């Protein structure tokens, strides 16, 4: 290409890279750290939340941000920040991950989690574990102490025992709210399908919530990390895994561009490799984080019928929190900046 065309080409690229909305980093220099979290997306309407519930979720998200931020402010790694933040969110019974996870068709809690280190692209994931207190710690142990990326079911639990992770009895994960949600769906199934015909999870349910927790971080050294944890879908069967334990679908991180954690109707996030797609649109398409995340969540997923959202941070500290559902529990923090949101118009 002629050299005299170069300025014009650069101008075009620059114009493409401008963000339309979102939380661009106001400083031109990279912030000392950046952190974003989510607690799931779905049909979350202000009119249906009591002020107490609203306040409880905001307080929980605030505490989670404080935990991650304190590590990053002290010079800790993005990997440690996302791990500690997710551990706290797993232990908090408000969210569908760890304690407070939804129940399977058989009345069990089957937990999935994954983590990825943007600096090395090492990754660890677990699917369908039932006795490990913090699945995200197990995902990290898989990453650091095994030659593998993805372990499942009893084998993953055996690995947890061999590596001294905390295990708990099934009742640790129990919450009345999630149990009642399963009973309600089972009663509906019985009524609508008296011959025992299977009704797909969430089918025809206008009140879908895709409970998941996620965290992405940029640390002082410029390293990125992402982590995601979930109990999956209420009434799930057949040891179904969603996008959370699938690296490239629910979680992705690479220091050259961004870190991403997703929440939503997992099957769609797997088919479109959503987390990796955000990365690829930046890496190969030259898009900004905001453009890449918006195109995937607000355009591609909307066209395909995939409900949900994601959180992402790029190597310059920009943050994107797009979702195409009615709400998403979410928040972010950078030096001197903190915001927590639940509904669309905030």
Asked whether the beta carbons of 157 and 141 are under 8 A apart, the reply is no
How close are the terminal C-alpha atoms of the chain, in Å?
Answer: 46
Nearer to a copy of itself, 247 or 259 (CB): 247
Binding residues for a copy of itself, how many (CB under 8 A)? 53
The span from the CA of 208 to the CA of 95, in Å, is 14
Backbone angles phi, psi at 10, to 5 degrees: -60, -40
SS3 264: strand
Min dist. Cβ of residue 273 to a copy of itself (A): 4
> Considering only residues 28, 47, 206, 238, which one is a binding residue for a copy of itself as defined by CB under 8 A?
238
Q: Can residue 189 be called a binding residue for a copy of itself (CB under 8 A)?
A: no
CA distances for 79 relative to 54, 108, 115, 120, 165, angstroms = 29, 30, 8, 11, 18
Of 31-39, 72-80, 90-98, 246-254: span binding a copy of itself (CB under 8 A): 246-254
Q: Can residue 237 be called a binding residue for a copy of itself (CB under 8 A)?
A: yes
> Considering only residues 241, 259, 297, 310, which one is a binding residue for a copy of itself as defined by CB under 8 A?
241
Nearer to a copy of itself, 60 or 246 (CB): 246
Q: Can residue 155 be called a binding residue for a copy of itself (CB under 8 A)?
A: yes
The span from the CA of 13 to the CA of 9, in Å, is 6
Element at 259 (helix H, strand E): strand 258-264
> Considering only residues 27, 158, 183, 192, which one is a binding residue for a copy of itself as defined by CB under 8 A?
158
CA distances for 11 relative to 17, 19, 266, 294, 314, angstroms = 10, 15, 38, 22, 22
Of 47-55, 91-99, 145-153, 169-177: span binding a copy of itself (CB under 8 A): 145-153
Min dist. Cβ of residue 258 to a copy of itself (A): 14
* Interface ranges with a copy of itself (CB under 8 A): 1-2, 5, 8, 12, 116, 121-123, 127-128, 146-156, 158-159, 200-201, 203, 236-242, 246-249, 252, 266-267, 270-273, 276-277, 280-281, 283-285, 304
């Amino acid at each position: 290409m002629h050299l005299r065309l170069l300025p014009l080409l650069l101008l075009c690229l620059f114009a493409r890279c401008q963000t339309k909305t979102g939380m661009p980093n106001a400083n031109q220099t990279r912030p000392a750290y950046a952190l974003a979290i989510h607690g799931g997306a779905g049909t979350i309407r202000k009119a249906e939340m009591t002020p107490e519930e609203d306040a409880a979720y905001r307080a929980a998200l605030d505490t989670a941000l404080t935990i991650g931020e304190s590590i990053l402010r002290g010079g800790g790694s993005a990997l440690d920040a996302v791990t500690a933040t997710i551990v706290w969110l797993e232990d908090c019974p408000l969210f569908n991950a760890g304690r407070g996870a939804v129940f399977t068709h058989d009345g069990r809690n089957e937990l999935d989690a994954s983590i990825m280190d943007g600096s090395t692209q090492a990754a660890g994931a677990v699917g369908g574990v039932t006795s490990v207190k913090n699945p995200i710690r197990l995902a990290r142990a898989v990453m650091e102490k095994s030659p593998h990326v993805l372990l499942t079911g009893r084998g993953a639990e055996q690995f947890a025992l061999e590596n001294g992770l905390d295990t708990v009895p099934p009742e640790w994960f129990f919450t009345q709210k999630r149990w009642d949600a399963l009973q309600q769906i089972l009663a509906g199934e019985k009524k609508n399908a008296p011959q025992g015909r299977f009704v797909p999870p969430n089918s025809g349910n206008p009140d879908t919530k895709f409970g998941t927790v996620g965290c992405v971080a940029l640390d002082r050294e410029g390293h990125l990390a992402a982590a995601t944890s979930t109990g999956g879908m209420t009434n799930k069967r057949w040891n179904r895994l969603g996008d959370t334990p699938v690296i490239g679908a629910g979680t992705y991180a690479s220091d050259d561009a961004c870190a991403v954690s997703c929440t939503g109707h997992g099957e769609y996030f797997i088919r479109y490799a959503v987390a990796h797609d955000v990365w690829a649109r930046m890496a190969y398409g030259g898009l900004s984080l905001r453009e890449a995340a918006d195109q995937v969540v607000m355009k591609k997923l909307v066209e395909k019928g995939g409900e949900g959202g994601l959180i992402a941070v790029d190597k310059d500290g920009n943050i994107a929190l797009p979702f195409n559902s009615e709400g998403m529990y979410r928040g972010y923090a950078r030096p001197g900046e903190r915001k927590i949101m639940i509904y669309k118009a905030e």
